[in-house]
Amino acid sequence: MLLRSGIGKLLLVDFDQVSVSSLNRHAVATRADVGIPKAQCLKEHFLSIFPECQIEAKVLLYDASTEEEILSGHPDFVLDCIDNIDTKVALLAACVRRGLKVLSATGAGARADPTRIRIADLRQSTNDPLSRAVRHRLRRDHGIEGGITVVFSLEKPKAKLLPFKGPSGEEENPSDYQILPGFRVRIIPVLGTIPAIFGQVMASYVLTQLAGLQVQTEPIVNLDIDHYRMLHQRLIEHEESLYGTALQVQVDVEEVMFVVKELWHGRSAREPFAKDVGRGMWRSVNELMLVRWDQEKPASVANLILLKFKEAEEHESRMLEDIKEREPEYFVRVTSILKRAELEFGL
């Protein structure tokens, strides 16, 4: 759409090749293109539409060694469509450092509702594991709190990565099959229309920005945010009381929302069965607080549990080894939940 709207210079960067599995969402690829670089496929198709456009295709993976080659031309806009956390964070940080305008696409997989796609600052994106992890890493590794515009969906993903099975049919370690370290090989379902709409939204945003047309985007409203602010503040005050400082609190309000809703479902970690997470849960959340699972580690998304006040007091009087020995089922359940958070945030 950028090309068809008259953009006269495009740099296309992608290290990947067209695959059969990507034909359900690739805008221009055909079966005959399977196996050729995506960037080259796009360039050839684009030149048949607008041969006057200056199009350069680079079959590259963005990283520190290719940053200068990719970003040195001082582009009017960088459109980030990367789904690998390490690479995405590196590109966004470089754009901020260089003062480049950037628009970032977050997760489009496992979504089906086009009416819930929004444009907002990265700080406001919700229900998206990719943007949540990127936000955490940008703040932790680069001191970037926000100021990056993203396209995201308010819709909660309807599926997760499928278990990885090798040729034998048994579950295997996905990392053994990676082309490059850190790039997933498992499959998350993608409804082809959703990434296409993400792309249309991105093109519309860039075109209106370049034309100087002011578009008022719809505000992101979260009616329950005050409850999470309360839990976040309660955590800070507890840390200050117990440790004399809150410097080890490594979560913001949105990450508290993830911990409370996604990990503990608004219930004490000591309750074995999940309850519905809705407005009624706040009756119980008002009696709960976040505390460190392991007191030797910081208060991060992968080290916070939700407990009732008395449970929290008892927990902090015990050693983890004692819990592991006396309550092995509880220990295993909590550590597995925290491991999920660790993986989701790329910690």
Token reading at 176 = 């053994």
Checking if the pLDDT of 285 tops 70, the result is no
The fourth-level CATH superfamily of domain 61-211 is NAD(P)-binding Rossmann-like Domain (3.40.50.720)
pLDDT tens digit string along 248-269?
A: 999 998 889 889 988 898 889 9
Phi-psi region of 100 (alpha: psi -120 to 50; beta: other; left: phi over 0): beta
**Maximum average pLDDT range among 108-122, 143-157, 284-298, 310-324:** 310-324
Q: Which pLDDT score, from 0 to 100, does residue 272 have? A: 72
When pLDDT is averaged across residues 273-287 and rounded to a whole number, the result is: 56
Better pLDDT: 56 or 257: 56
Helix (H, G, I), strand (E, B) or coil at 227: helix
Better pLDDT: 80 or 189: 80
Checking if the pLDDT of 178 tops 50, the result is no
* Residue 244, CB-side half-sphere exposure with 13 Å CA sphere: 0
Distance of CA 175 to the CA centre of its chain: 20
Mind giving me the DSSP string for 238-282? HHHHHHS--TTB---HHHHHIIIIIITTTS-TT-SS----SGGGH
pLDDT tens digit string along 40-54?
A: 999 999 999 999 999
pLDDT band at 156 (very low <50, low <70, confident <90, very high): confident
pLDDT band at 347 (very low <50, low <70, confident <90, very high): low
Q: Which pLDDT score, from 0 to 100, does residue 225 have? A: 80
Token reading at 121 = 């600052």
Better pLDDT: 223 or 334: 334
When pLDDT is averaged across residues 308-314 and rounded to a whole number, the result is: 95
- Of all residues in the chain, what percent carry a pLDDT higher than 90? 63
d(C-alpha 292, C-alpha 294), whole Å: 5
pLDDT band at 160 (very low <50, low <70, confident <90, very high): low
- Of all residues in the chain, what percent carry a pLDDT higher than 70? 86
Domain boundaries, the chain: 61-211, 225-345
When pLDDT is averaged across residues 43-70 and rounded to a whole number, the result is: 96
Checking if the pLDDT of 64 tops 60, the result is yes
When pLDDT is averaged across residues 175-194 and rounded to a whole number, the result is: 64
d(C-alpha 128, C-alpha 154), whole Å: 8
Q: Which pLDDT score, from 0 to 100, does residue 59 have? A: 96
d(C-alpha 174, C-alpha 160), whole Å: 15
Q: Which pLDDT score, from 0 to 100, does residue 276 have? A: 47
N-term to C-term CA, the chain: 37
When pLDDT is averaged across residues 53-73 and rounded to a whole number, the result is: 95
Q: Which amino acid is at 247?
A: L
Choice among 99-108, 110-119, 199-208 with the minimum mean pLDDT: 110-119
pTM: predicted TM-score of the whole model, two decimal places: 0.71
Question: What are the DSSP E strand ranges found in the chain?
Answer: 9-13, 54-58, 78-80, 102-105, 117-121, 149-153, 288-292, 304-308
Q: What is the mean pLDDT of the chain?
A: 87
As a residue count, the chain comes to: 347
Checking if the pLDDT of 180 tops 80, the result is no
Better pLDDT: 78 or 156: 78
